Structure 1
């Protein structure tokens, strides 16, 4: 057996054996209910770390969520520390079994996710502009409900299976409407 192939296979086995699944959150609480948490106003603060774990950006996002039955919309306004502002509007649908699908302008195809216990896992491909070039990055998004007003989020962005960025976000429903202040 080729030595490089053996090392690559062993590395892949270690990486996949450490991954989390929604089943890991059976019988945990408080229960995450996407349509309930993201109904109304939410403010969030986050950081982006590049592949070397270096902080590359900070941001704040004001979110307004509205739901009619199993259809929802999340209107997100991002304010980055470098002065950039970005708007993303999610159109969401939740099936009777709890599975969620969604689209947004910078999402390639359709996002899909599920909740179980205290966790919600959301997967999609995000088109990200970097220095005039657009990259399609796979996003593995994990949200954890801390209490009725707060959620912690960890997102892992990858290209060809290699993590190129990690994002940490703290959501808070008790922040004032339009709670983003300058993040410079």
Structure 2
């Protein structure tokens, strides 16, 4: 098979896979819609992992989030503790728009993040500047949060480059836990 045929086969396969994605409208029929302003107001803790393109877990982490809102303007201060000892920070500046959507910016986000919710789901899409071994890469983030109950939210984020998934991030948020801080960066 020639290189051109292989290349076309890859493009067609990627197109078919991406066309099977979930739409936000699939989640419109619920009694209590997910209100991210209410959920991310105050302290929230989450645990997560990063899986590479072959689904191998490459990193695990815990994140402490402190959210505060003034009307429709919010700040989410995130502190990440990775299992390899790295500690990193992200500070989201969020705005709720009149149509119910959200816009957001953070230090490592390129341009504006756009968020929309429907029922118990919230989708956040943005471009992230990701630094790996002193190299910077721009990746697309398709971030989906699903509220399980008033205290717990599951999050799945697909990370892609040039339309090809390179990693996936999975998080579990909990507002009710008795342990309200991540383990020290010294604990691995």
TM-score > 0.5 by shorter chain: yes
* Stretch deviating more after TM superposition (13-22 or 144-153): 13-22
Pairs within 5 Å for 1:48-87: 48-87=50-89
**Cα-to-partner distance string for 1:57-96 (whole Å, 9 max, x where unaligned):** 0000000000011000000000000000001000000012
SS at match of 1:53: coil
Structure 1 residue 21 displacement after superposition: 1.0
Gaps of 5+ in 1: none
User: What is the aligned partner in structure 1 of residue 114 from structure 2?
Assistant: 112
Q: Is the 8 A contact 1:89 1:105 kept in 2?
A: yes
Structure 1 residue 178 displacement after superposition: 4.1
RMSD of equivalent CA atoms: 1.7
SS at match of 2:16: helix
User: What is the aligned partner in structure 2 of residue 22 from structure 1?
Assistant: 24
User: What is the aligned partner in structure 2 of residue 154 from structure 1?
Assistant: 156
Change (3 A) 1:16 1:29: farther
Structure 1 length-normalised TM:
0.93
Moved beyond 6 Å, runs of 4+ = none
| 1:11 maps onto 2:44 in alignment | no
Q: Give me the whole-angstrom Cα distance separating, in 2, the residues matched to 1:30 and 1:77.
A: 29
Change (3 A) 1:15 1:29: farther
Q: Is the 8 A contact 2:123 2:145 kept in 1?
A: yes
Structure 1 residue 14 displacement after superposition: 2.4
Change (3 A) 1:78 1:29: farther
Q: Give me the whole-angstrom Cα distance separating, in 2, the residues matched to 1:5 and 1:107.
A: 31
**Cα-to-partner distance string for 1:95-146 (whole Å, 9 max, x where unaligned):** 1211000000010111001010010000001111111100011000000000
Q: Give me the whole-angstrom Cα distance separating, in 1, the residues matched to 2:11 and 2:129.
A: 30
32, 35, 43: which one pairs with 1:33? 35
Gaps of 5+ in 2: none
SS at match of 1:87: strand
Structure 2 length-normalised TM:
0.91
Structure 1 residue 8 displacement after superposition: 4.5
Structure 1 residue 30 displacement after superposition: 3.9
SS at match of 2:122: strand
